[in-house]
Amino acid sequence: MPAARASYDAPVEVLRVTGGHPLQGEVTLTGAKNSVLKLMAAALLAPGTTTITNVPEILDVEIMAELLRRLGCDVTHDLAASAVRITVPENPDHRADYDLVRRMRASICVLGPLVARVGAADVALPGGDNIGSRGLDMHVAGLRRMGADVSSEHGYLLAQVPDRLTGAHTWLDFPSVGATETILMAAVLARGETVIDNAAREPEIVDICTMLQAMGARIDGVGTSTLLIEGVDQLHPVEHATVPDRIVAGTWGVAAVMTGGDVAVRGANAEHLTIALEKLETAGAVVDLLADGFRVRMEGRPRAVDIVTLPYPGFPTDLQPQFIALNSIAEGAALVTENLFEARFRFVQELARLGADVRTDGHHALVRGRGSLSGAPVEATDIRAGAGLVLAGLVADGCTTVYGVSHIDRGYSGFVPSLRGLGAEISREEVSDR
Ligand code: UD1
């Protein structure tokens, strides 16, 4: 057999966007990526069949399903019903391999449930992390305070509990979403009381708390920065509907403003987007609250809006690239401050290929609005950067080709058909990568 040859011109998928069409009509949201993955992991806490509904059709859900299967669960995804059913055995396995973790950093969310339920977890370290790194230090510190022995070896984070986790007073240096979830999912089955001080308060945290409470967990302070958890001996499976995706909702709002359109976002919870919707109003949009969502209307060129990303209820970092795209065509200049992930500004270099005027310095970006952008090939470097580039393509002159489509697939369910339904000129194509 001839040896496989590396090919520099293998076909890749791209999105081709032709700008200049105002988006008009309505879209219906599905559940939040950043919640559903954790809800699926939480199913591990109870033997039997847990059903999660309002599940988005995104790649990360398939990766999490595969991870749970490798742990011994039976997982079916009923696309027609937007539901995932997870049957968890009495004794799940406890190893999460690198081939899946490298594809999805959020795989780390099985750590807490496995330690609580099985007393051990071997989870491959996501790229770039080691045990003392910023990325996981608070997860590890929390589990250690609860009596877990945590080490790292051969690229794996190894956690073991001699007997059963013991409730403890824990605190976070920063209200990390992931660390709050890890400690919370460990604490619900620990012996005694756990306190998480400076906990994250994101709607996705409230969502998982609600599901855990339905499973029999005892949690107080839900939605505040102090969570009090009284551990119980066992939990039972439930059916739970995923909270709507506030980041996808916000992305549609920005798209309406940038294109001078009129979009109703159904199935959204506008309360989860208070600051972002106010920013759209500051940019000049009319935002109406609907019984099941909101509507954003815009005429003319938007005004520039300053953004400072912060943990919830602050402005979400996951909407920062979309607002940089908005500011790139706005009247005036905006200062965007990113307090969570500095690497988020990497996408600015791609936006510059479309003619955007953005200067970054550390965690600040100065965006000077231009009257127009001009279509060009660009590469999505992560999910939200991908969304930001597509939005820019919707208003750029001519055709924008967005590479790195798999990033967008990780977070946006049916993005292209929804955009077409609103009147955008966009298609998904396979091209030779030369
Ligand atoms: C989650 C979301 C992500 C969102 C982020 C902030 C998922 C799958 N992802 O990510 O889309 O942008 O919340 O809203 O839900 N940190 C530490 N030590 C730790 C943990 C985190 O230093 O132990 C740092 C991180 O490096 C980062 C910051 O804290 O700079 C925020 O992280 P965190 O809130 O944990 O975000 P994620 O849960 O990773």
pLDDT, tens digit, for every residue of 13-64?
Answer: 999 999 999 999 999 999 999 999 999 999 999 999 999 999 999 999 999 9
Pocket flag, ligand 1, residue 186 (CB < 6 Å) = no
Tell me which residue has its CA closest to atom 22 in ligand 1: 134
Ranges of the chain whose pLDDT falls below 70: 1-9, 127-134, 433-434
91 φ, ψ (degrees, to nearest 5): -125, 85
Tell the CATH topology of 33-241: UDP-n-acetylglucosamine1-carboxyvinyl-transferase; Chain (3.65.10)
Question: Facing residues of 432 across strands?
Answer: 11
Ligand 1 touching residue 106 (CB < 6 A): yes
Ligand 1 atom nearest residue 137's Cα: 23
Q: Please list the residues that pair with 160 across neighbouring strands.
A: 120, 149
pLDDT at 7: 62
Whether cis (ω within 30° of 0) applies to the bond prior to 313 is: yes
Q: What is the pLDDT of residue 90?
A: 95
Residue nearest to atom 38 of ligand 1 (CA): 178
Atom of ligand 1 nearest to the CA of 340: 30
pLDDT of amino acid 343: 82
Q: Which residues of 388-402 are buried (b: 16+ CB within 10 A; e: fewer)?
A: bbbbbbbbbeeebbb
What is the token pair recorded at 185?
A: 């999912």
Nearest residue by C-alpha to atom 27 in ligand 1:
340
Ligand 1 pocket test: pick from 107, 130, 157, 174 the residue with the most ligand atoms within 8 Å of its Cβ: 174
Probe residue for ligand 1, chosen from 157, 177, 243, 245 as the CB with the greatest number of ligand atoms within 8 Å: 177
User: What is the distance in A from the centroid of ligand 1 to the CA of 370?
Assistant: 32
CATH code at 2-29+244-432: 3.65.10.10
Q: Which residues pair with 106 in a beta bridge?
A: none
Please state the atom number of ligand 1 nearest to the C-alpha of residue 200: 34
CA of 153 to the centre of ligand 1 (A): 23
pLDDT for the residue numbered 64: 95
Cα separation of 371 and 356, whole Å? 10
Ligand 1 mean position, distance from CA 288 (Å):
31
Provide the pLDDT for residue 432.
Answer: 80
State the closest ligand 1 atom to the C-alpha of 204, by its place in the atom list counted from 1: 15
**How far apart (Å, rounded) are the C-alpha atoms in residues 242 and 87?**
18
Catalytic annotation, pick one of 60, 129, 262, 382:
129
Closest protein CA for atom 9 of ligand 1: 34
Per the annotation, the verdict on 129 as an active-site residue is: yes
CA 52 – CA 49 distance, rounded (Å): 10
Beta-sheet pairing, 218-220 with 226-230: antiparallel
180 in contact with ligand 1, CB cutoff 6 A: no
| CATH 3.65.10.10 domain locations along the chain | 2-29+244-432, 33-241
CB-count burial class (<10 Å; 0-12, 13-18, 19+) for 337: middle
Quick one: which atom of ligand 1 is closest to the CA of 134? 22
Q: What is the pLDDT of residues 344-357, one digit of tens each?
A: 888 899 999 999 99
Q: Contact 325/370 with Cβ under 8 angstroms? A: no
Give the strand order in the sheet containing 357-361: 307-308, 333-337, 364-368, 357-361
Mutate to test the pocket of ligand 1, among 61, 139, 140, 176 (most ligand atoms within 8 A of CB): 176
Residue 137 Cβ contacting ligand 1 at under 6 Å: yes
What one-character-per-residue DSSP string does 241-258 give?
Answer: EPPB-HHHHHHHHHHHHH
Q: Strands of 425-432's sheet, edge to edge? A: 377-379, 399-403, 11-18, 425-432
Structure confidence at residue 134 (pLDDT): 58
The Å distance, Cα 178 to ligand 1 centre, comes to 6
